[in-house]
């Protein structure tokens, strides 16, 4: 009986908790597009998703992670180091490469890391064991969530309630691709390349504008009003909750097709070009909207290229730009408390007048 219980526990431990299929999610096209483009090109800079409670934000974010192809990492490495890309290696792996040592590798699922609201800076960044460093001369680093999220997705639910200092740390790491921990003159640096995804409810407070600007894209989602769509959403969720494996089987073909499209788009991305005239038009839109800095121009160019790659093209067209530009610019506009027009509509008005 004892051995039987051990077997049951082992089976349950190995059993992966089913994730709601991305292709089964009804509506919320803006959020789904923003997430897809960010996994095709993580350099877009992540996405902030703001919307009503109970609109499937968390479900969609976890579903996109489940779609991504496995990644190759150095075996037993704490930072998911890439075995050949120097920029994605920890110092220990770099040392092995420089010595010419063989690096054993393994394939793992793309990391999906949740950052809890109550997390401390040490939990996020990692800690250095000062006592061991001083007494034994050994630099011992306990990795944090940024290390675990390297080459994956870091998800912060209710990011607008997160301590501003932690948001600064996250955005700096996301922008630079590195996390540096310094304690008592001892410093450890490791790669931290991840897609930063934040979600929140605007009723609970806004992010500071300078922090909001650091997110590549901003998706706004609203509760579905159409009765037939609401019924369809409820049916899909009920079907999944009653028997997730049957639901997964039903959408397996669509999931496989989308997985293949993402992988192909990632490979094609480096060959996608955008004509000079179209780049000028993008910058003209940003200038007309009085967008501060150049992040809006850069992100719009990147997102348009990712969309072209997703659509099996190597050249960006004007429709690609029109599709992504609101997502890239709406959160970068200066807020006027007396203005009644929505920021997304304002972007669209300028886009229609310039991108003809």
Q: Would you name the residues annotated as active-site residues?
A: 295
Count other C-beta atoms under 10 Å from residue 289's C-beta. 21
DSSP classification of residue 273: B
Residues 6+ apart with CB under 8 A from 45: 38, 174, 175, 196, 214, 215, 216, 217, 295, 299
353 φ, ψ (degrees, to nearest 5)? -80, -25
Beta strands in 184-289 (DSSP E): 186-191, 194-200, 217-221
Q: Which residue has the tokens 């997502």?
A: 327
Count other C-beta atoms under 10 Å from residue 49's C-beta. 27
- Which residue from 184, 173, 168 is spatially nearest to 145, judged by alpha carbons? 173
d(CA 63, CA 60): 5
- Which residue from 33, 3, 20 is spatially nearest to 311, judged by alpha carbons? 33
């Amino acid at each position: 009986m004892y051995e039987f219980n051990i077997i049951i526990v082992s089976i349950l431990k190995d059993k992966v908790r089913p994730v709601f299929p991305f292709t089964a999610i009804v509506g919320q096209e803006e959020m789904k597009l923003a997430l897809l483009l960010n996994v095709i090109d993580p350099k877009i800079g992540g996405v902030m998703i703001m919307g009503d409670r109970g609109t499937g934000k968390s479900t969609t974010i976890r579903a996109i992670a489940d779609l991504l192809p496995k990644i190759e990492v150095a075996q037993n490495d704490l930072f998911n180091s890439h075995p050949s890309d120097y920029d994605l290696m920890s110092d220990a792996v770099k040392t092995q490469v420089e010595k010419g040592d063989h690096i054993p590798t393994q394939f793992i699922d793309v990391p999906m890391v949740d950052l809890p609201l109550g997390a401390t800076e040490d939990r996020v960044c990692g800690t250095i064991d000062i006592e061991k460093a001083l007494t034994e001369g050994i630099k011992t680093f306990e990795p944090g969530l940024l290390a675990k999220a390297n080459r994956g997705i870091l998800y912060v639910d209710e990011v607008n309630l997160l301590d501003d200092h932690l948001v600064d740390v996250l955005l700096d790491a996301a922008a630079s691709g590195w996390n540096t921990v310094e304690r008592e003159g001892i410093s450890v640096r490791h790669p931290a390349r991840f897609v930063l995804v934040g979600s929140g409810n605007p009723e609970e407070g806004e992010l500071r504008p300078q922090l909001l600007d650091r997110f590549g894209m901003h998706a706004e989602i609203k509760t579905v009003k159409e009765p037939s769509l609401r019924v369809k959403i409820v049916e899909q969720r009920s079907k999944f909750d009653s028997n997730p494996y049957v639901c997964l089987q039903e959408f397996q073909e669509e999931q496989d097709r989308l997985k293949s499209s993402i992988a192909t788009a990632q490979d094609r991305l480096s060959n996608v070009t955008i004509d000079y005239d179209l780049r000028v038009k993008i910058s003209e839109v940003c200038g007309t909207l009085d967008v501060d800095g150049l992040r809006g121009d850069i992100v719009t160019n990147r997102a348009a290229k990712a969309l072209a790659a997703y659509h099996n093209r190597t050249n960006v067209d004007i429709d690609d730009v029109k599709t992504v530009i609101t997502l890239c610019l709406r959160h970068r506009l200066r807020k006027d408390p007396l203005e009644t027009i929505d920021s997304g509509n304002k972007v669209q008005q300028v886009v229609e007048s310039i991108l003809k």
